[in-house]
Amino acid sequence: MRIMGVEEIELMDRIVVHPNICHGKPRIKGTRIFISIILDWLAEDASFEEIINAYPSITVEDIKAVLKYSRMLIENQKITGLA
């Protein structure tokens, strides 16, 4: 993770967060496409090709970065309340 400019944070090379863009939600760099949108498509069994057809400004590498970012978040979460 590295700081870009004053406020934008670049996560990996393709995922960014800026507090004044898209309500500070993680998005694909150079777009206003939230990573949660891509995850929703994947959860509905959409193929990479279908996602790219719907959002032509993103690439296969962007979708893979969404998955890597999501995995990183999960790996760094502590889950409490499990029996």
All domains of the chain, ordered by start, with CATH? 2-75 (1.10.10.10)
**Residue among 43, 10, 1 at smallest CA distance from 51:** 43
Stretch 25-53: mean pLDDT, rounded? 97
Alpha-carbon distance of 4 to 9, in angstroms, equals 6
Q: Lowest-confidence range among 1-5, 8-12, 54-58?
A: 1-5
Residue 23 DSSP SS3: helix
pTM: 0.80
Q: How confident is the model at residue 82 (pLDDT cuts 50, 70, 90)?
A: low
Burial of 56 (0-12, 13-18, 19+ CB in 10 A): exposed
Looking at residue 2, its pLDDT comes to 44
